[in-house]
Structure 1
Amino acid sequence: MVFKHFLTKVQNVYKYVLNNHPYATQGVQAGMIMGAGDVMAQVAIEKRSLDNINILRTGQFTMLGTFLIGPTLRLVYGILDRKIKTQHPLKRALQKVACDQLLFAPIFNLIVTSAISIIQGYRGQAIIERVRENYVDIMMTNYCLWPAAQIINFSFVPLNYQVLYAQTVALGWNTYFSWKMSKHEVVIPVSKAM
């Protein structure tokens, strides 16, 4: 009974904050989920122990989610919702997915790949090389996951919760993306980084 009451309070606070500050709320939740995806990549895929996690890298992914990914997704989903007015729900969802995957995803993945390279300290030609090395694989993997996920998102999820849904699905995507963009990273143990 107490736990249920607590959950109701948390839901009400979340709804209030989301309705009154959608960009900030969705930025913070995207940042937390991106950071979690990076930790999962380091522990589950790269087989690092918890004391060897690159905290700086996790912070970089968290900041990217907070200031770029969350707010951008909210903006784009809002634009799609306003511009695509087809009445039939499935047609409307398919049109949104087509715009999202054919127009937005290629540009956004290019921006995110470049932004990750920049915040990880790459400059000039090195950024171009990293994008060239990773972009096609990222887009191929994108098209294996996101069209189906976005059909569900645009068909059944209310606009205010679409970024949360996408970022929940993106926990796995962020894990992959973090691993893909950090394959050649030099590991500095946490104890030495502090």
Structure 2
Amino acid sequence: AMALSAYFRESIKVGLIMGGGDMIAQFGIEKKSFNEWNYARTARFGALGLVVVGPALRKWYMTLDGMVAKKQPTLQRGFKKMFIDQTLFAPPFTLALSFIIPYMNGDETDKIISRIKEDYFTIMKGGYMLWPLAQIVNFTLVPLQYQVLYVQIIALAWNSFLSMMLNK
């Protein structure tokens, strides 16, 4: 029950932070007025955090922590975890979100696929400018139980970018 409640608490935080990222995208980047706010889009983005991203990240960080031997220098271990994260997890996870988000917004499948072909590498390039350094900090300085929260705080900026790219 304790583990489940930790998952649930984490997922609620991720949902709220992702919703916040969409609001930053709409008000800050897309310069929408309050009357133009697409609150359904914000709710969908937040729900995705609650149901998919929060649980997936928690499971991934626990798995990743077990994949990399603990008896080695902290920085070396952090680099290994970052490398595995950015090669094995980030590309398919970003690809999945690149499909799920427009799909949740009601876009046609063929339109989504053509947009993925157009934008996926731009999104990944943006990610690689942010995440490797952020993850080295995460995996070397942040205790495991706070890693998802740390990532979500960094992700406020990332989610704004992602929301802007995927809600075009």
Q: Which residue of 2 aligns with 1:165?
A: 150
Identity %, equivalent residues: 43
CA distance in 1, matches of 2:160, 2:134: 16
Q: Which residue of 2 aligns with 1:187?
A: none
Q: Which residue of 1 aligns with 2:56?
A: 72
CA distance in 2, matches of 1:176, 1:69: 16
- TM-fit CA distance, 1:18: 7.9
Aligned partner (choices 65, 79, 97) of residue 81 of structure 1:
65
- TM-fit CA distance, 1:85: 1.0
Following superposition, which runs of at least 4 residues in structure 1 exceed 2 angstroms of deviation? 17-20
Give SS of 1:118's match: helix
Q: Which runs of 5+ in 1 are unaligned?
A: 1-16, 184-194
Aligned partner (choices 48, 54, 71) of residue 32 of structure 2:
48
Question: Aligned partner of 2:106: which letter?
Answer: G
Q: Which residue of 1 aligns with 2:20?
A: 36
Q: How does 1:27-176 map to 2 (within 5 A)?
A: 27-86=11-70, 87-176=72-161
Q: TM-score, normalised by structure 1?
A: 0.82
CA distance in 2, matches of 1:142, 1:42: 20
Q: Which residue of 2 aligns with 1:10?
A: none
Q: Which runs of 5+ in 2 are unaligned?
A: none
Rg (Cα) greater in structure: 1
Give SS of 2:69's match: coil
The 8 Å contact of residues 31 and 64 in structure 1, kept in 2 or not, is answered as: yes
- TM-fit CA distance, 1:123: 3.1
CA distance in 1, matches of 2:166, 2:153: 20
Structure 1 window deviating more from structure 2 (132-141 vs 119-128): it is 119-128
CA distance in 2, matches of 1:134, 1:60: 21
The 8 Å contact of residues 38 and 61 in structure 1, kept in 2 or not, is answered as: yes
- TM-fit CA distance, 1:20: 5.8
The 8 Å contact of residues 117 and 130 in structure 1, kept in 2 or not, is answered as: no
The CA RMSD measured in Å over matched residues stands at 1.5
The 8 Å contact of residues 58 and 148 in structure 2, kept in 1 or not, is answered as: yes
Q: TM-score, normalised by structure 2?
A: 0.95
- TM-fit CA distance, 1:88: 1.2
- TM-fit CA distance, 1:19: 6.0
Aligned length: 167
Q: Which residue of 2 aligns with 1:190?
A: none
Question: Aligned partner of 2:164: which letter?
Answer: W
CA distance in 1, matches of 2:125, 2:83: 16
